[in-house]
Amino acid sequence: MPRHGGLERVIHVLTDGLVQQGHQVSNPSLFAPCPQLPVINISEAQKQTMLHLNYSDTIHNTLDLSRYPFAAECQTPPYIAFIGRMAPETGPQFAIAIALHAGLPLKMAGKIHPSEQEFFDHQIKPHIDGQRIQYLGDVNHAQKADLLAKAAVTVFPIIWDKPFGLVMLESMACGTPVIGMNCGVIPEVIADGKSGFICSTINEFVKKISAALQLNRADCRHHVETLFHPTLMVSQYEQAIGLVLSSQNNLHTFQRHQS
């Protein structure tokens, strides 16, 4: 615990709580000590899950593009990529259905949490044959970048309001278009018809596979370079934080409420 009060104590309370909560950051009690503290959210989708907070701006996450080499062409024969936790809400079961109906092989990668092992054993593992459906395990960064860069298309068939999804940026940065489900942050990240497609049903996913293969892979990379570049994010944070600090009316928001 910091020895001083004020802003240092506020930062400690919030960051320590975020680390402990993990993805469960929508818990209202986490921000209870400072209900008027200005908050920068990572997406409009995230804002909808915590409407009680005092939002000052929306600034999307970005990538170090130098770690994602651009691939002008996909591997031949083409395949579909899926990267995510092997969990019902991330949609690996839907990725399998999409690949089988589209007639393309699927390469999946991602962690299996102990609580999701039964789901994997019953709904995913029976489909894995090492050819049409492959599971590569929990890959490292180099393996992930290679998997995405060589793919013809990446599918993101999530069924929960995900606040952000770096896999989509990673795929597009490599030049690979993304087809995502119309929920959570997906409409904020994919340029529909340019860097991928946004769908509302699994049938739509299947129908859009062939269209995604016709997209310009350079446009996918350019989309990330233009809207999700680290330099842009830094500039946005500097501006947002500067506006908060320059307003004397906001100084009281940094005071922790006493019980």
Verify that 49 and 130 share a domain, yes or no: no
Residues 138, 195 within the same domain: yes
Same domain, 85 and 195: yes
In 3D space, the residue among 92, 59, 64 whose CA is nearest the CA of residue 188 turns out to be 59
Give the 3-state secondary structure of 163-202.
CCCHHHHHHHHCCCCEEEECCCCHHHHCCECCCEEEECCH
CA-based end-to-end distance of the chain = 19
| Residues 213, 172 within the same domain | yes
Q: For 223-236, what is each residue's pLDDT tens digit?
A: 999 999 999 999 98
Residue ranges making up the domain that contains 44: 6-62+233-254
Are residues 91 and 167 both part of a single domain?
Answer: yes
Cα distance between residue 101 and residue 79, in whole Å: 13
Instruction: Mark whether 217 and 239 lie in a shared domain.
Output: no
- Is 259 part of a structural domain of the chain? no
Helices 166-173 and 217-227, interaxial angle, to 10°? 130
Instruction: Concatenate the DSSP letters of all residues of 44-100 into one string.
Output: HHHHHH-TTSEEEEE------GGGS---SS--SS--EEEES-SSGGG-HHHHHHHHH
Q: What CATH number corresponds to the domain at position 180?
A: 3.40.50.2000
- Residue 1 covered by a domain: no
Q: If 0-12 CB within 10 Å is exposed, 13-18 middle and 19+ buried, where does residue 241 land?
A: middle
Please report whether residue 10 resides in a domain: yes
Cis peptide leading into 2, omega within 30 of 0? no
pTM (two decimals):
0.83
d(CA 123, CA 130): 16
In what side-by-side order are the strands of the sheet with 80-83? 133-135, 106-109, 80-83, 153-156, 178-181, 196-199
Q: Tell me the mean pLDDT in the region 170-192.
A: 96
| 50 and 145 fall within a common domain | no
Q: Does some domain include residue 169?
A: yes
CA pair distance 169, 233, nearest whole angstrom: 14
pLDDT digits (tens, 9 = 90+) for 9-29: 555 555 555 545 555 555 666
* Integer Rg of the chain from CA: 20
Do 163 and 99 share a structural domain?
A: yes
What is the spatial distance between Cα 243 and Cα 56, in angstroms, rounded to a whole number? Answer: 9
Rounded Cα distance between 174 and 124, Å, is: 27
Per-residue pLDDT tens over the stretch 55-91: 788 889 899 999 999 999 999 999 999 999 999 999 9
Query: What does the pLDDT read at residue 15?
Result: 52
Q: What is the mean pLDDT of the chain?
A: 86
Residue with the bigger pLDDT between 241 and 109: it is: 109
The number of domains in the chain is 2
Q: Is residue 44 one of the residues assigned to a domain?
A: yes
Read off the pLDDT of each residue in 44-49 and give the average, rounded to a whole number: 79
Residues 36 and 157 reside in one and the same domain? no
